[in-house]
Structure 1
Amino acid sequence: MFKATGRRSAVLATLMAIGLALTSAATAAAATLHETASAHPASAGRLAIIGGRAATEPYSFMVSFRLQGLPGHHCGGSLIAPDWVVTAAHCKGLMKPGRTQVRVGSLDRGKGGALTSVKRAITHPGYDEPGLSGKPEDDIALVQLDRRVDLEPIRIADDPGRVGEPSRVIGWGMACEDRNNPTCKNGPRQLQELDTVRVHDNRCTFLNRGSELCTGERHGRAASACNGDSGGPQIRRVGGRWELIGATSRDGDDVQDRMDGGAGCSTNPEGEPGVGVWTDVTHYRSWITDTIREHAPAELHS
């Protein structure tokens, strides 16, 4: 569900962002990302976030969402409290109370960690499906779990850091960009990671300045998150520990839909290394705090 930008009608955008989210989940947890053909054979055999690697350490806060009745992993998220997860608002169609399976803290999307379900999902009140501009607003949501899990949440950073500072993105999304290849469209079982860096806002198309982060691969290679990585964490080291700065939102430079495969998650329309857009979670700290407090049991308020 790593979303592509593009000039399209509001009706089509809504169908792709909501209706197709459920249909596409049966094959790759894809929502609105453009189709990509096998134009990048070098990445076709990699089992990783495109250009990344298998996770090199445990991530107790990593979350996988899977809607029962549909195969595989759909969206990612970050555990920020014992029973609260932050994810992307465009994943909302998959967040069904009592039906959506939530696995927390495992490197394997199909086993291990703590297994629970969705109690409620709350999208940011400013969230807007992409219309003619192709730019969604406030692509962030909170999911309350149906029970508290005994795993260490990740702290939300005080700020996202400066342009040029290293970060990392994590997920179980598509490993390569040929969606006709089952290895690509089904994604890896093992959690993947990619070392990234904040880049200048002007590298991303239709970026909401101040509330979103434009991000590229750390060494300038063609590598990025892709379908199925939506909502997953962008993290950076602060004082020797990981802290959360972003939630995976969408492609950052696919100006047109390019359904013919002219551009992919890891490349721009010219075939050069691309960039992606992450919601700046630190920007929404007050909304997150207020929302969790509003839905906390009465005894916790005291």
Structure 2
Amino acid sequence: MRSAVLATLMAAGLALTTASTAAAATVLQTSPAGAASVGRPAIIGGKAATEPYSFMVSFRLNTLREHHCGGALIAPDWVVTAAHCEGLMKPGKTQVRIGSPDRDNGGALTSVKRIITHPGWTDPSGEPEGDIALVQLDRPVDLQPIRIADSPGRVGEPTRIIGWGMTCEYQKDCAYGPKQLQELETVRVPDRRCVSLDRGTEVCTGALGKKAANACNGDSGGPQIRKVNGRWELIGATSRDGDDVEERQDGGAGCATNPDGRPGLGIWTDVTHYRSWIADTIGKDAPADLRNAA
């Protein structure tokens, strides 16, 4: 049942690619259940980034003009992103910009060497799970990675999401997303409030203050972070919409609101759940705390 719902959700829009990459994504990105994983995660209702994020990543296929997915640097040459972004990750052809609030300039510029999706994502014998992937860069970068948190924290704890996704509900008005990195204060909410969420491997998230704001097209794979002992740590990777099962009929993305018009929710892959898999996959390049966890 979950596989069918997940495929519907991904086709409907939280595979967070931007409008400019939608046609290519339709061809290149396919969920394990066979549905196109074209989607609709951008940050709606946020504001321009208020601080530097040395770990923030923008992916862009060289043949397309716009950013299409986000990610988080966790080691000098490794990035965590969403598995459903895999279709637009082309070794030697996908541009990776790291550590700049401007998606088009600054920071470190490199490329994709290889991408490794979680084995549960493409396992044909079961339901798709593990919307998480590791991207190895073609060279290490001299920027501070973000530590993966030990846990996602408790329901009710404040978090933050960052990205370059759409900033409104309608693609015709803001299809290309902002050049300036956006951030939004968010909070973990009870898992039961999100549709088809895998408890223990995903987290349900809404905007702080219950306002109509959330991630949208272009935010896929981008980080959800929380403060631990005064520093940001990674807890999630943007996955999909949390309350829209069917695509909106009016051309709206439906990211910031649910079908009834109330503040919407989103689903993030719980990166902390995959600490051991990440450590095993990266091997000797994994941070010491991850190797110890494995």
Report the TM range for the smaller structure's normalisation: 0.7 to 0.9
In structure 2, the residue matched to 1:116 is: 110
The reply to whether residue 278 of structure 1 matches residue 268 of structure 2 is yes
CA drift of 1:275 comes to: 0.4
Unaligned runs of 5+ in 2: 27-36
C-alpha displacement of 1:177 = 1.1
Question: Which residue does 2:56 correspond to in 1?
Answer: 62
1:25 counterpart (14, 21, 25): 21
CA drift of 1:256 comes to 2.0
Instruction: Report if aligned partners of 2:20, 2:64 keep a CA contact under 8 Å in 1.
Output: no
> Deviation at 1:170?
0.3
Task: Provide, for residues 268-299 of structure 1, a one-character-per-residue CA deviation record: whole Å limited to 9, x for no partner.
Answer: 11010010000000000000000001788xxx
TM-score normalized by structure 1? Answer: 0.82
| Alignment-mate amino acid for residue 215 of structure 2 | A
Q: 1:100 to 1:179 in 2, by over 3 A?
A: same
1:99-146 Cα shifts (integer Å, max 9, x gaps) = 00000000000000000000000000001499xxxx851100000000
In structure 2, how many angstroms separate the alpha carbons of the residues matched to 1:26 and 1:202?
Answer: 30
| Pairing 1:49–2:43 present | yes
**In 2 relative to 1, CA 249–129 (structure 1 residues): closer, same or farther, beyond 3 Å?**
farther
Query: How far, CA to CA, are the matches of 1:88 and 1:9 in structure 2?
Result: 14
2:223 to 233, 238, 246: 233
Amino acid in structure 2 at the alignment position of 1:25: T
Name which of 140, 143, 154 aligns with 1:162: 154
| Secondary structure of 1:219's aligned partner | helix
Partners of 1:28 and 1:227 within 8 A in 2: no
Q: Does 1:145 align with 2:137?
A: yes
Amino acid at match of 2:269: T
CA–CA distance in 2 between the matches of 1:91 and 1:127?
12
Structure-2 separation of matches of 1:270 and 1:53:
25
Structure 2 contact 18–177 (Cα < 8 Å) conserved: no
Gapped regions of structure 1 (runs ≥ 5): 35-47
Residues in 2 aligned to 1:56 and 1:29: alpha-carbon distance in whole angstroms: 31
Greater helix proportion = 2
1:215-269 alpha-carbon deviations (Å, 9 max, x no partner): 0001100000000000000000000000000000000000222333477100111
Q: Of 186, 204, 208, which residue of structure 2 is paired with 1:196? A: 186
Among 57, 72, 81, which residue is 1:87 paired with?
81
Structure 1 Cα separation of the partners of residues 188 and 220 of structure 2: 18
CA RMSD of aligned residues (A): 3.2
Cα distance change of structure 1 residues 14 and 198 upon mapping to structure 2, 3 Å threshold: closer
Name the CA distance, whole Å, in 1 between partners of 2:95 and 2:59.
Answer: 6
Match of 1:212 among 202, 207, 215: 202
Q: Is the 8 A contact 1:29 1:75 kept in 2?
A: no
2:29 aligned residue = none
- Once the two structures are overlaid, the 10-residue window that deviates more, 251-260 or 21-30, is 21-30
Aligned length: 273
TM-score, length of structure 2 as denominator length: 0.84
> Are the structure 2 counterparts of residues 119 and 185 from structure 1 closer, same or farther at C-alpha, using a change threshold of 3 Å?
same
SS in structure 2 at match of 1:293:
helix
Instruction: Give % identity.
Output: 70
1:107 aligned to 2:101?
Answer: yes
